[in-house]
């Protein structure tokens, strides 16, 4: 059941999106920024620990280059 914890699900989705974007760079001129963030999280046993998350943000750069 631990793999279905909402925080772990979000981290897994972000990791998969990051991996997909890095292997298949978009042709539409996307601008990506990747940041690592350290947060305090509660693990399944109830202890507080430090967890590192990776935030990937993407936006389309094609709208500004069209004019």
SS3 state of residue 49: strand
Q: What is the pLDDT of residue 12?
A: 81
Q: Could you count the other beta carbons within 10 Å of the beta carbon of residue 63?
A: 10
The answer to whether residue 63 scores a pLDDT higher than 60 is no
SS3 state of residue 10: helix
> Does the model's pTM come out above 0.85?
no
pLDDT digit string, tens, across residues 9-52 = 788 888 877 777 666 665 555 666 777 777 777 888 888 887 77
Q: What is the pLDDT of residue 9?
A: 79
pLDDT band at residue 61 under the 50/70/90 scheme: low
Q: Could you count the other beta carbons within 10 Å of the beta carbon of residue 2?
A: 8
The answer to whether residue 65 scores a pLDDT higher than 50 is no
Q: Closest Cα to residue 63, out of 18, 17, 31, 22?
A: 31
């Amino acid at each position: 059941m631990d793999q279905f914890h909402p925080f772990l699900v979000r981290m897994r989705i972000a990791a998969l999106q990051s991996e997909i974007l890095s292997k298949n760079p978009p042709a539409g001129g996307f601008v990506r920024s990747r940041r690592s963030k350290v947060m305090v999280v509660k693990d399944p046993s109830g202890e507080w620990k430090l967890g590192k998350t990776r935030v990937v943000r993407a936006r389309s750069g094609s709208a500004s280059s069209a004019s």
